[in-house]
Chains A and B, each alone.
Chain A
Amino acid sequence: MRLISILSNSKAYELLRTLQRDKSAWTGLWLLIVFGIIVLFAPIIAPYGPNEAIPSLRLAPPGTPGHLLGLDHQGRDILSRIIHGTRLTVITAVTPVVIGALVALPLGLLAAWYERLGVLILRTMDVLFAFPMALLAILVTSSLGAGIINLLISLVIVLLPYYVRIVHQAAASQKALPYIEALRVSGTPVRTILFVELLPNVAPAAIVYGATVLGSIVVTAAGLSFLGLGVQPPLAEWGVMISEGRNVIFIAPHVAALPGAALTLFVIACNLLGDGIRDALDPRARATLSYQANLSK
C-alpha cells in the first residue's frame, strides 16, 4: 500500500497523468511500447531469420505469398529483417542517450560547482557545438573506425555538449538556493552535496532532454550506418537496409522504401512523446495552456 501511495504521489506518476491527457503524446508512448515489445521478442515475431535467404525469390515485390513486404536483393524476407532490425536500430540510439546523460551529469555538476573548471568544461563543449551533429559523428567514427562500439562512442560525444549545458544550467540555479548554502555552512563534504543532494534535483532536466532528443539520435545513428560508418552488413539494421536497398531502387524500390518507413514511424513516435514530455514539464507552456483555457471559458 505504501508503495502505491509513493508511486501515485511521485513526479513520474504525475507526469504520466499529464501525458495521458495529451492525446498525441499518449499515442507516441503506446507506439514506443509496441516497438519495445518488438525489440524484446523479435525472433519470435519475425516469420524468418534476418539472414535466411531464398535466392529464387530475389527482389520479389510486397504481397508475394508468405512474404508480406517482399524480399530484398539477396532473397531475404524484408518484414523479418525490419523486425530483427528494430533491435540494433533502437539499441544504437537509446544506449548513447543513456550513457551521454550518465557522463554529462558529473561533468555538469562539477562545472557548476567549481567555476574555473566550469569555464574549461563549457568552452570545450562550445567547440563541440561548432560541429553540425552528423558531421561530428562522422569525424569521430571515421577516425576511430567503423563499427557498433565506435558508433556509440561518437553519438555520446555528439550528445555531450547539449547534456552538459543543460545539467550545468540546472545545477547552477540550484546552487544559489538556501538549502545548498545550509549544507555548505554545516560542513557537508562537497562530494555529498553534489552527488547526494544536487544530483536528484538536476537529473530530471537531463532525462527530459534525453527523451526529446531520442528522435534525432535515431536518425543520426541510422544515418551513420547508412553511410557505412556504424552497423555493418549483413546485420539487420534499418540504416544498413536503406543503404543496401539504394543499389536496387531502379528495379525494386520497396527494398529501400520499407525500412525507411519503419524508421520514420519510430521517429514520429519519439517526437510525439518527446514534445508531450516537454510541454508537460515546461511551466511556461503549461501557463499558456491554462491561460487559453481561462479565455475560452
Chain B
Amino acid sequence: MIRLIINRIFATILVLIGVSFVVFAALHFSPGDVARTILGLGATEERVQALRQELGLDRPLLIQYWDWMMALLRGDLGRSISLGVPVSEVIFDKIWASLLLMGASFFLTVSFGLLFAALSGGYHRSLMDRLITLLMLLLASLPPFWLGIVLLIIFGLKLRIFPISGVGAMADDATLYVVAMHLILPAVTTAASSLAVVARVTRSAFIDEMGEPYVQAARARGLSQRRIISIETMRNVLPSFVTIAGLQIGFLFSSALFSEIVFNWPGIGLQLYLGIVQRDFPVVQGCVLAIAIVFVVGNLLADILSIALDPRRRG
C-alpha cells in the first residue's frame, strides 16, 4: 500500500509541474505582446519595454519558464495590475473563503449524496426511489450560475430568509450563525449537480449489493432492511462512494466559481472573475494555478483514502 501511495505522490508532482507549464504557457501563447498583456491596455510604451526587458522575453521559452518556476517556488506570482499588490497576497487573502465554501459544499455532496443513494438504492423500485431519481436528474441538470440566481430570487429577494451577498460572511466580527446563513445558498448551488452524480452512482452500487447472497443471508437472519442498508451493505458501497465523491472535487470547483460570482462570495473564484473582467492577467494566472493545485492535491487525498478503504488494493 505504501508503495502504491508513494507512486501516486510521485505522479502528482509530475502533473503539478505540467500544470504550472500550462498556466505559464497560456500567457505566452496569447496573441499579441506578453508584456502588454500583463500590464494591460492602459500602460505606457516605456513601461511595456521595461517589463519586456525584465521578463527576458527575448530568451528561450524554457529558460523563461525556469525563472518563472523558481519565482513561483519562492511564492512570487507577480503583481496584480488592478490592485497593485503581489498576486500571492491576493490569493492568500481570498483562499480561505473559497476553502470554506468548498468544504461546506463537499460536506453537502457526500452527506446528502450518500443519504439519497441509500434511500433510493436500498429501496429499489419503490415510489421513494423513483422520486429521488427524478429529483437527482433535475439537480444534475441545473446550471450552477442559473440555480444560484433562482435561489437568490426566491430565498434572498422574495422570502428574505438568507442574505443576498456573501461579503458579510468574511467580516471580522461575523458570528458562526452569520457565516452559516451566508454560506447556505452558495453551498447548495455549488453542491447540487455533484450531489446528484454521487447519489446516482452510489445508488447503483447499493442496488448491486442488494442482490448479493450475503444480503439474503442477513435478511434470513431477520435483520431489518434499515440495518442491512446502513450497516451490512454500507461497508461494501464505501469504496465506490469515495471514488465518485473524490471525482466530484473538480466539478465542485467549477460550480463554486459560478456561485462565488452570483453570490458575491469573496473567494478565489470571484477574484478570478474580476481578473478576467479587468484584464488582470497575473491575477487570472495565479487564481487558476491556486485552484488547480488545490484540486490536484484534493484528488491525491481522495485517491489515498480509497486505496486505504479497499482491502483488495491495500496489499
* A residues at B contact (CB < 8 Å): 24, 123-124, 126-135, 138-140, 142-145, 215, 219-220, 222-223, 226-229, 239, 242, 245-246, 249-250, 253, 256-257, 260, 263-264, 267-268, 270-272, 288, 291-292, 295
Contacts and interface: CB of A to CB of B under 8 A. Distances in A.
B259 to A, nearest CB: 11
A227 B273 contact: yes
Interface stretch (B27-35, B41-49, B60-68, B111-119): B27-35
Interface of B: 11, 14-16, 18-19, 21-23, 26-27, 29-31, 137-138, 140-146, 149-150, 152-153, 157, 207-208, 211, 250-251, 253-254, 257-258, 261-262, 272-273, 276-277, 281, 284, 288, 291-292, 295-296, 299
Given A127-B21, A130-B16, A257-B150, 17 more contacts: A24-B137, A128-B22, A131-B292, A133-B251, A139-B26, A139-B284, A142-B284, A143-B29, A144-B31, A223-B143, A223-B254, A223-B258, A246-B149, A264-B141, A264-B142, A288-B207, A288-B211
Contacts of B284: 138-139, 142
Nearest to A128: B22
B291 A132 contact: yes
A142 B299 CA distance: 25
A276 to B, nearest CB: 12
A52 to B, nearest CB: 25
B30 to A, nearest CB: 4
Nearest to B22: A127
A242 B146 CA distance: 7
A272 B133 CA distance: 12
17 contacts: A127-B15, A130-B296, A131-B22, A132-B254, A135-B253, A135-B291, A215-B140, A220-B254, A222-B143, A223-B254, A227-B273, A228-B277, A245-B149, A263-B143, A267-B141, A267-B143, A268-B141
Contacts of B138: 264, 268
Nearest to B30: A143
By DSSP majority rule, is chain A's interface helix, strand, loop, or mixed? Answer: helix
By DSSP majority rule, is chain B's interface helix, strand, loop, or mixed? Answer: helix
Nearest to A215: B141
Contacts of A126: 11, 15, 18
Contacts of A145: 30-31
A142 B141 contact: no
Contact of A124 (B18, B137, B273, B288): B18
Contact of A140 (B26, B157, B208): B26
B257 to A, nearest CB: 6
B137 A132 contact: no
Given A219-B143, A268-B141, A229 B276 contact: yes
Contacts of B262: 246
Which of A132, A215, A242, A263 has the most C-beta atoms of chain B within 10 angstroms of its own C-beta?
A132
Contacts of A222: 143, 145
Contacts of A124: 18
A264 B54 CA distance: 49
A201 B126 CA distance: 39
Contact of A132 (B144, B152, B253): B253
A272 to B, nearest CB: 7
